[in-house]
Amino acid sequence: MLIFNKKSDLSAFLSPLIQQNKSIGFVPTMGALHKGHLSLLEKSLSENEITVMSIFVNPTQFNNSEDLDKYPRTLERDIQIMQEVSNTIIVYAPEVEDIYEGKTVSQSFDYDGLENQMEGKHRPGHFDGVGTIVKRLFEIVQPNKAYFGEKDFQQLQIVKKLVEKNNIPVAVIGCPIHREDSGLAMSSRNERLSETARKNAAIIYQILNSAKEIFATNSAEATVKWVENEFQKHPDFQLEYFEIADETTLLPVNTKEADKKYRGFIAIFIENIRLIDNISLN
C-alpha cells in the first residue's frame, strides 16, 4: 500500500495514471476508520481501477476547538485496517501545512441556501470548511468518482452542489448509512462515548424509526413535537434539533406533498459529544 504525506508526491504518482485514463475513485475521510468508511472504500474499489483514500482532520470545518482537539487520530491503526481491505489502496495523509500552506482559512461558498439549514445553522462556517477541503482534495486527486456517506446527508448534498456550481468533473456518489448492531449510526465520535452512553445511544435510531411511522399519518409539526417530547424523557440526551426537510432543498416541511422526498435529521448531545443521524421518511 502506498502512503503519501505530500500532495506533490501524490500528484507525481497519479499524473501518469490520469494520462492513461485510469479510473480514479476517491474516499475523503478524517480517519479513525470504522465499517462505515470501509463500505465507501469497498464501493470505490469495486468501481474504479485506482482508489485513493485521504485521512485528514480538517481544522477549518470545526467550529468548536475542543471538538477538533479531541477528534480521534489513529493513523497507524487506520493504515492497518486499510491494508486488511486491500493493499492496492493509495493513501493520502497530509499535515495541515501541506493542504493550507500557512493560511488555515476557509474560502466562502454559496450553495444556493443549502448551507443555511440544520448543520449550517448550528455550526457556523462548517460548510465553508467542508467546501474548501473537498475542492482542494479534488484538485489534488482529480478523481472520476468520489464517495460520500448519507450519514452526513446535508454534506453530501452540499458537495453535489459544489461540484455543479464550480463545474468540477467528478461524479459524487452517495452511500447508505452503516450502523452498529444496536442501530446507532457508525461514527468516529462513538469511540469517545462511555460504554453505557454508547448502549443508550441506540435510542436515537429507535426514535427515528418511530418518527417515520408517525410521519406517515401525521404532520411534520406533530412528528417533530413527538420526537422532542420523547427526548425530554431522557435527560442524558440534549436534543439540538430534529427537523423534517425536503431531501433536495433541505428546507423544513410545512405541508406534505405527494411527489416530494422527505428526511428526518437529528443532532443530539450525549456526554457532551455531538452525534448526527438521519432517516428517509418516504
Residues 14 and 21: their CA atoms lie apart, in Å, by 11
Helices 202-217 + 220-232 axis angle, to 10: 150
Query: Judged by CB, which is closer to ligand AMP: 37, or 123?
Result: 37
Query: Judged by CB, which is closer to ligand AMP: 140, or 224?
Result: 140
122 labelled catalytic: no
Of residues 152, 211, 220, 279, which one binds ligand AMP by CB under 6 A? 152
Interface stretch with ligand AMP, choices 28-36, 87-95, 206-214, 231-239 (CB under 6 A): 28-36
Name the nearest CA neighbour of 118 among 238, 281, 252.
Answer: 252
Query: Judged by CB, which is closer to ligand AMP: 129, or 215?
Result: 129
Give how many residues touch ligand AMP by CB under 6 A.
17
Query: Judged by CB, which is closer to ligand AMP: 98, or 119?
Result: 119
User: Is 201 exposed, middle or buried, given 0-12, 13-18 or 19+ CB atoms closer than 10 A?
Assistant: buried
* Closest distance of CB 40 from ligand AMP, Å: 5
CA distances from residue 154 to 92, 106, 150, 240, 250 in whole angstroms, order as listed? 25, 18, 8, 16, 8
CA 277 vs. chain centroid, Å, equals 10
Non-local CB neighbours of 252 within 8 Å, separated by 6+ positions: 117, 220, 243, 244, 245
Interface stretch with ligand AMP, choices 29-37, 41-49, 70-78, 95-103 (CB under 6 A): 29-37
Of residues 109, 111, 148, 242, which one binds ligand AMP by CB under 6 A? 148
- Which residue out of 34, 37, 122, 178 is catalytically annotated? 37
Site for ligand AMP in 169-228 (CB under 6 A): 175, 177-178, 185-188
* Residue facing ligand AMP at closest CB distance: 149
- Strand order of the sheet with strand 90-92? 2-4, 90-92, 50-55, 24-29, 145-149, 171-175
- Indicate which residues carry an active-site annotation: 37
User: Which residues of this chain interact with ligand AMP, rule CB under 6 A?
Assistant: 29-30, 36-37, 39-40, 148-149, 151-152, 175, 177-178, 185-188
